[in-house]
Amino acid sequence: MSEIDELQRRIMSAMDRVAQGLDGLNAADPAEADALRQELADEKSVNADLKERIDALSAQHEKILHDAEAKIEAKMADLDSQLQKLRSINAQLVEACDALRSANAEGVGDPHLINKSMMTELEAVRAMRSAEMAEAGEIIAALTPMLEDAASAGSTGGVQ
């Protein structure tokens, strides 16, 4: 982008010179007027090239943005699926714990209910860990490009 800024600065400078030249065109010789016209035509050509480059960069930026949004949506759908699974398992855990409490209140310690409760709790812990790992993965995926950009900016002295 700094190259584009430099070219734009040059174009503006040339157009200023051309404007100054046109003010004195009546007093200038025809050769100088032709040179100024040629310089103006050259700068218009450069300006058109810059516009094409800006349009291409804008299109590329839009594509990258669209792709990033699609990836984010897919990852959010995956994370939502894992959270739904976690909620379902937690509901099963609540049911198993309620059944276990009822059995204990009646004085009947049913080993099957205890085992079912422990298995459901273990599944809930696994689902929670899976959701946390997915969330950590998303955070890492989001931070990695930023850190790489910062590292490359630092190694080039902040000039890109």
> What are the extents of the domains in the chain?
2-155
Conformational region of residue 69, where left means phi above 0, alpha means psi within -120 to 50, and beta covers everything else: alpha
CB 2 within 8 A of CB 159: yes
Give the separation between CA 82 and CA 136, rounded to whole angstroms: 13
Predicted confidence pLDDT, tens digits, the chain (160 residues): 677 778 788 888 888 887 776 666 555 567 777 887 888 889 889 889 999 999 999 899 999 888 888 888 888 888 888 888 888 887 887 887 777 778 777 877 677 777 777 788 788 888 888 888 888 888 888 888 888 887 777 666 544 4
Phi, then psi, of 107 in degrees rounded to 5: 85, 15
Displacement of CA 78 from its chain's centroid (Å): 18
* pTM value > 0.85: no
Give the separation between CA 121 and CA 98, rounded to whole angstroms: 13
123: Cβ–Cβ under 8 A, 6 or more apart, which residues? 89, 92
Q: How large is the greatest C-alpha to C-alpha distance in the chain, in angstroms?
A: 114
Residue found under tokens 């800024």: 5
DSSP 26-41: TTS-HHHHHHHHHHHH
Tell me which amino acid residue 77 is. A
